[in-house]
């Protein structure tokens, strides 16, 4: 699996006075099994971009290749592309419509034309992947809690067995626990199923925790494309475009500015903790008596 | 971008007509439509034309913009013109098979076309110079009399104004749901009529649910802001007649009088036969 | 003792689901015996996961929902007393989560005028209030715009202005930032802090974004319909484990400080900001080994 975008431009209101670039000369390649964080403030073009990757929007110019095949070719099967590149929209629970959870999840594979047995086995698998308990399967989706609804909606896309899963702010509006559960499920899909993930998020903390590569969009252009540690080193530039690095990255930088030798690539709480504990150990300043063994184990 | 759709077709310039009270414009449009059906001679149409031309000039909206509304009408126009042209009995001038063109047919078709064109231009003068908000305000106040006979005028106009606010939101939402379902393999294009209708279910159900959710939310928000119907409500922008509105009503009166007068004048003088 | 601007006593609220014949099918206790007293002028944050009862509590305050048991007073008026309902709603204005579903007007300034219109305020006074309210939330430049053309944060500021125009003493915001991006969230939080400081408006902010509550005067945590924690942000955030039990989260720096403390580092409790953590760490690490204990900054 690979997605390759070459010089994608997308214009709104082409040919009118309101003509405006939503995407401007965007190129990148996503290889098998990557976990990509896509960030950018509202209106930066990230939602437009992901809709190009499964062929819902067509670029004004530029090419997109899926597994080396040009998706804009006349004979290319764009409908099946949509099942290979699963796209979970923002607030996906707003698309639920069936009388029960299970039928709703069946919608995707049914459209793919599979037999009833196959459709149902895919639906079951998908509902298990999002860890929705079986007792909810035959309830109306509208009676579930917000977090459960969202998981049903994600299962609705997973049931098509996509090779790539794109999620547009899958945690928006959820409480912290609901957010962590969804993110953990996505991480499992990536880790255990080898699915490629593109996660659109506003939370730098989440992105830093899960992504191995970050694409940053601003005004329709790709401004960064690198591993998190590298991208978050540019916290000044990120701030200029209305973004920021995770809090701990700032802590590490301030400490460094004060002459404390912190590593430059701290992006998660775990990493910060380890680095700080190393400093304390080195200086023997930590007044820890019985805790020392425990701390030593963790480092 | 769907968000850019504007309802109605307000053309933002400053003119006497733009500043005029919406009630005056609503009433004027009514007078104009009535006059179109009263006018029955070339001379009367002359008066109608002068009236309309004055309004167009006063509105300061480019004429090209106004006739744009006609494009959508062209088919209807052609049908009604050809019906009148070919099917009116009378003195034959030209014959092609069973189709014949009569002197009366030409007259009738001509007036019919003129009437339709004037009707469209006349009502666009109003919609181009009045924002949808002003229009609902004008309706609420202009139809105040109906409240006496139990028509919920305030409620209806509140509904219209809320609809104006939410239509663009729902249009955008439709687009979003459609895309979300297409991402799950939904097909909104192919199939016969019944299949197509069935394929709309995944779009319509979420859309209705969303509309209901928005409606409940909005009702709660309105209540929280002390909305309790039209009773005891004041207006931030109350409609107030100015001198120009008085003048306009005077013009309407003279105009209508003239058009009606022309009818009697012609009938009495027997100069021209009635046309419709 | 004098009563605060909002007071709830033994408040209980049940959501009742009935079948077609009005038989009670299910009773859901959303609020279960809450006692709380909010002081005028305070900035109070209410935390809790989805379903903890915090939104239901908010709706109790301005009389959208009425107590099943117990009493809620707003400025000394009982919410269950019908004759005060409009006074209560204008005293304790409310801002909701979805910015689109609470703006009624087709033009920003007309929306702000909606509340005063309903209250029967004379036209001149409406204009004065609209001007002031738009200025207070920094939206004067957008007064003639259609709400559909605004960003989420701007829409919420318009909604806040709409409440301000009713001259409230208190504003309750029910997850006003849940649907916004980080910039929109900052915009809204900054705005309500300003209203709190400059206009002395009591603020009740319901949220589950922890970084939004660190500047509050008081934080209340709700869980399962109960009020389970109540204190200053520092007091609340020093109990990281307990917060996690209530399905809540803490800012990264708070968590880092807590983790370090667990490992035996002598760091003060309830660290809330980057600056605090950096200072604390510098005073522990910064002076070179064997140097003076006092850190002179």
Quick check: A269 and C286 CB within 8 A? no
pLDDT at B164: 84
Q: Which of A54, A96, A110 sits opposite B183 (nearest CB)?
A: A54
pTM: 0.86
Quick check: C51 and A145 CB within 8 A? yes
Q: Which of A18, A86, A95 sits opposite B177 (nearest CB)?
A: A95
pLDDT at A289: 42
Chain B environment of C118 (Cβ under 8 Å): 225-228, 233
Q: Which of C89, C103, C106 sits opposite B226 (nearest CB)?
A: C89
Domain ranges of chain A: 2-76+163-235, 249-298
Quick check: B209 and A18 CB within 8 A? no
Quick check: B226 and C166 CB within 8 A? yes
Chain B environment of C98 (Cβ under 8 Å): 214, 217
- Residue B3 pLDDT grade (very low, low, confident, very high; cuts 50, 70, 90): very low
Stretch among A175-184, B62-71, C4-13, C99-108 having the lowest mean pLDDT: B62-71
Quick check: A292 and C264 CB within 8 A? yes
Quick check: C50 and A277 CB within 8 A? no
- Residue C175 pLDDT grade (very low, low, confident, very high; cuts 50, 70, 90): very high
- Residue C290 pLDDT grade (very low, low, confident, very high; cuts 50, 70, 90): very low
Is A2-76+163-235 CATH 3.30.710.10? no
- Residue B2 pLDDT grade (very low, low, confident, very high; cuts 50, 70, 90): very low
Is it the case that residue B71 has pLDDT exceeding 80?
A: no
Is C41-66+77-233 CATH 2.70.98.20? no
Count of alpha carbons within 13 angstroms of residue B267, beta-carbon side = 11
Section C265-294 average pLDDT: 76
Stretch among A198-212, C221-235, C278-292 having the lowest mean pLDDT: C278-292
Section B91-116 average pLDDT: 81
- Residue C296 pLDDT grade (very low, low, confident, very high; cuts 50, 70, 90): very low
Is the minimum CB–CB distance between A156 and chain B shorter than 8 Å? yes
Is the minimum CB–CB distance between C158 and chain A shorter than 8 Å? no
What the block records as the tokens of A140 is 């109306």
Which of C 230-289 lie inside 8 A of A, CB atoms?
247-249, 251-253, 255-256, 259-260, 262-266, 274, 277-278, 281-282, 284-286, 289
Quick check: B202 and A107 CB within 8 A? yes
Is it the case that residue B6 has pLDDT exceeding 50?
A: no
Residues of B with CB under 8 A from a CB of A: 1, 4, 173, 176-177, 179-187, 201-202, 205-206, 209-210
**Alpha carbons C101 and C235: distance in angstroms, whole number:** 36
Q: Which of C62, C100, C130 sits opposite B236 (nearest CB)?
A: C130
Is it the case that residue B36 has pLDDT exceeding 70?
A: yes
Q: How far is CA B14 from CA A279, B58, B67, C40, in A?
A: 71, 10, 20, 48
Quick check: C64 and B223 CB within 8 A? yes
For chain B, the DSSP string reads: -GGG--STT------HHHHS-HHHHHHHHHHHHHHHHH--SHHHHHHHHHHHHHHHHHHT--HHHHHHHHHTTHHHHHHHHHHHHHH--SSEEEEETTEEEEHHHHHHHHHHHHHHHHHHHHHHHHHHHS-HHHHHHHHHHHTHHHHTTT--HHHHHHHHHHHHHHHHHHHHHHHHHHHHHHTTT--SSSS-HHHHHHHTHHHHHHHHHHHHHHHHHHHHHHHHTT---STT---SS-----HHHHHHHHHHHHHHHHHHHHHHHHHHHT-S----
Residues A228-249 have pLDDT tens digits of 999 998 988 998 888 888 999 9
Question: Which residue of chain B comes nearest to C112, CA vs CA?
Answer: B236
Is it the case that residue B96 has pLDDT exceeding 80?
A: no
Section C58-70 average pLDDT: 93
Is it the case that residue B19 has pLDDT exceeding 60?
A: yes
Section A134-144 average pLDDT: 93
Q: Which of A41, A285, A288 sits opposite C183 (nearest CB)?
A: A41
Residues B164-219 have pLDDT tens digits of 889 889 999 999 999 999 999 998 887 788 888 888 999 999 999 999 999 999 99
Section C189-217 average pLDDT: 94
pLDDT at B91: 78
- Residue A15 pLDDT grade (very low, low, confident, very high; cuts 50, 70, 90): low
pLDDT at B5: 37
Is it the case that residue B7 has pLDDT exceeding 70?
A: no
CA distance A4 to chain B (A): 19
Quick check: B180 and A89 CB within 8 A? yes
Is it the case that residue C297 has pLDDT exceeding 90?
A: no
CA distance A83 to chain B (A): 7
- Mean pLDDT score across all residues of chain A: 89
Query: Comparing B276 with A127, which gets the higher pLDDT?
Result: A127
Section A69-74 average pLDDT: 92
pLDDT at B105: 84
Residues B228-266 have pLDDT tens digits of 988 889 999 888 898 999 999 999 999 999 998 888 876
pLDDT at A273: 94
pLDDT at B245: 92
Q: List the chains bordering chain A where 3 or more Cβ pairs fall under 8 Å.
A: B, C
- Mean pLDDT score across all residues of chain B: 85
Stretch among A135-139, A188-192, B112-116 having the lowest mean pLDDT: B112-116
Q: Which of C98, C115, C149 sits opposite B226 (nearest CB)?
A: C115
Is it the case that residue B83 has pLDDT exceeding 90?
A: no
Quick check: A242 and C264 CB within 8 A? no
Q: Which of B132, B169, B234 sits opposite C100 (nearest CB)?
A: B169
CB pairs under 8 A between A and B: 63
Q: Work out the percent of chain B whose per-residue pLDDT is above 70.
A: 92
Quick check: A94 and B210 CB within 8 A? yes
Judge residue A143's burial from the number of C-beta atoms within 10 Å of its C-beta, 0-12 exposed, 13-18 middle, 19 or more buried: exposed
Domain ranges of chain B: 9-130+241-276, 152-229
pLDDT at C77: 95
CA distance C76 to chain A (A): 33
- Residue C293 pLDDT grade (very low, low, confident, very high; cuts 50, 70, 90): very low
Is it the case that residue B141 has pLDDT exceeding 90?
A: no
Q: Which of B1, B177, B186 sits opposite A94 (nearest CB)?
A: B177
Question: Which residue of chain C comes nearest to A239, CA vs CA?
Answer: C183
Is it the case that residue A182 has pLDDT exceeding 70?
A: yes
- Mean pLDDT score across all residues of chain C: 91
pLDDT at A17: 60
Question: Which residue of chain C comes nearest to A209, CA vs CA?
Answer: C252
Quick check: B206 and A56 CB within 8 A? no
Question: Which residue of chain C comes nearest to B170, CA vs CA?
Answer: C100
CB pairs under 8 A between B and C: 94
Domain ranges of chain C: 41-66+77-233
Section C219-239 average pLDDT: 94
Is it the case that residue C295 has pLDDT exceeding 80?
A: no
Query: Comparing A297 with C253, which gets the higher pLDDT?
Result: C253
Chain B environment of C99 (Cβ under 8 Å): none
Quick check: C247 and A176 CB within 8 A? yes
Q: Which of B179, B183, B185 sits opposite A112 (nearest CB)?
A: B185
């Amino acid at each position: 699996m690979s997605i390759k975008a070459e010089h994608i431009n997308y214009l709104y209101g082409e040919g009118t006075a309101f003509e405006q670039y939503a995407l401007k000369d965007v190129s990148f390649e996503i290889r098998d099994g990557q976990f990509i964080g896509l960030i950018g403030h509202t209106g930066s073009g990230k939602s437009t971009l992901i809709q190009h990757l499964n062929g819902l929007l067509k670029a004004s110019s530029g090419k997109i290749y899926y597994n080396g095949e040009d998706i804009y070719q006349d004979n290319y099967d764009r409908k099946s592309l949509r099942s290979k590149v699963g796209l979970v929209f923002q607030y996906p629970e707003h698309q639920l419509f069936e009388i029960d959870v299970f039928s709703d999840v069946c919608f995707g594979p049914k459209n793919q034309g599979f037999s009833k047995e196959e459709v149902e086995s895919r639906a079951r698998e998908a509902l298990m992947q999002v860890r929705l308990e079986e007792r909810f399967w035959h309830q109306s989706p509208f009676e579930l809690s917000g977090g459960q609804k969202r998981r049903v909606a994600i299962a609705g896309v997973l049931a098509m067995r996509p090779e790539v899963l794109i999620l547009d702010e899958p945690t928006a509006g959820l409480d912290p626990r609901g957010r962590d559960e969804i993110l953990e499920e996505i991480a499992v899909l990536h880790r255990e199923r080898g699915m490629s993930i593109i996660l659109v998020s506003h939370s730098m903390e989440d992105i830093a925790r899960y992504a191995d590569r970050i694409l940053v969009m601003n005004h329709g252009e790709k401004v960064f494309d690198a591993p998190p540690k590298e991208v978050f080193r540019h916290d000044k530039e990120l701030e200029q475009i209305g973004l920021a690095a995770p809090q701990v990255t700032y802590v590490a930088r301030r400490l460094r500015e004060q002459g404390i030798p912190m590593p430059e690539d701290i992006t998660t709480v775990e990493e910060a903790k380890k680095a700080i504990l190393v400093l304390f150990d080195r200086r023997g300043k930590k007044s820890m008596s019985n805790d020392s063994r425990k701390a030593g184990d963790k480092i | 971008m769907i968000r850019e759709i504007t309802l109605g077709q307000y053309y933002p310039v400053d003119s006497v007509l733009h500043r005029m009270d919406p009630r005056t414009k609503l009433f004027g449009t009514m007078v104009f439509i009535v006059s179109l059906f009263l006018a029955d001679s070339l001379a009367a149409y002359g008066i109608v034309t002068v009236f309309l031309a004055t309004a167009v000039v006063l509105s300061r909206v480019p004429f090209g913009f106004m006739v744009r509304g006609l494009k959508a009408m062209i088919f209807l126009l052609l049908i009604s013109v050809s019906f009148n042209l070919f099917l009116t009995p009378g003195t034959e001038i030209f014959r092609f098979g069973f189709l014949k063109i009569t002197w009366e047919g030409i007259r009738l078709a001509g007036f019919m076309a003129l009437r339709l064109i004037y009707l469209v231009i006349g009502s666009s003068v109003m919609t181009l110079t009045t924002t949808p908000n002003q229009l609902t305000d004008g309706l609420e106040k202009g139809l105040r009399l109906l409240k006496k006979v139990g028509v919920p005028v305030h409620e209806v106009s509140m509904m219209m104004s809320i609809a104006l606010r939410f239509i663009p939101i729902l249009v955008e939402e439709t687009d979003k749901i459609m895309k979300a379902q297409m991402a799950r393999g939904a097909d909104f294009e192919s199939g016969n009529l019944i299949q197509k209708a069935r394929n709309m279910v995944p779009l319509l159900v979420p859309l209705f649910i969303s509309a209901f959710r928005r409606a409940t939310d909005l009702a709660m928000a309105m209540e929280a802001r002390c909305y309790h119907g039209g009773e005891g409500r004041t207006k931030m922008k109350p409609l107030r007649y100015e001198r120009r509105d008085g003048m306009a009503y005077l013009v309407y009166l003279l105009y209508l009088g003239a058009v009606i007068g022309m009818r009697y004048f012609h009938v009495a003088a027997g100069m021209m036969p009635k046309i419709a | 003792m004098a009563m605060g601007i909002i007071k709830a006593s033994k408040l209980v609220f049940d959501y009742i689901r009935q079948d077609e014949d009005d038989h009670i099918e299910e009773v859901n206790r959303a609020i279960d015996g809450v006692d709380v007293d909010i002081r005028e002028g305070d900035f109070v944050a209410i935390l809790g996961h989805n379903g903890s009862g915090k939104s239901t509590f908010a709706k109790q305050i301005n009389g959208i929902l009425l107590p099943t048991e117990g009493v809620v007073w707003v400025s000394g008026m009982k919410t269950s007393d019908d004759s005060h309902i409009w006074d209560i709603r204008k005293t304790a204005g409310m801002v909701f989560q979805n910015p689109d579903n609470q703006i009624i007007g087709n033009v920003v300034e007309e929306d702000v005028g909606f509340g005063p219109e309903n209250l029967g305020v004379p036209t001149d006074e409406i204009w004065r209030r609209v001007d002031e309210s738009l200025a207070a939330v920094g939206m004067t430049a957008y007064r003639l715009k259609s709400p559909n053309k605004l960003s989420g944060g701007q829409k919420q500021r318009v909604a806040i202005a709409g409440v301000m125009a009713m001259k409230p003493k208190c504003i309750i915001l029910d997850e006003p930032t849940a649907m916004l991006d980080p910039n929109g969230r900052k915009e809204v939080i900054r705005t309500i802090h300003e209203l709190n400081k400059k206009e002395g408006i009591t603020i009740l902010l319901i949220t589950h974004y922890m970084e939004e509550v660190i500047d509050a005067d008081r934080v209340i945590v709700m869980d399962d319909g109960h009020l389970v924690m109540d204190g200053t942000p520092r007091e609340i955030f020093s109990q990281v484990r307990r917060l996690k039990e209530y399905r809540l989260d803490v800012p990264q720096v708070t968590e880092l400080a807590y983790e370090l403390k667990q490992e035996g580092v002598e760091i003060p409790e309830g660290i809330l900001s980057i600056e605090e953590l950096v200072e604390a760490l510098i005073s522990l690490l910064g002076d070179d080994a064997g140097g003076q204990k006092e850190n002179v900054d």
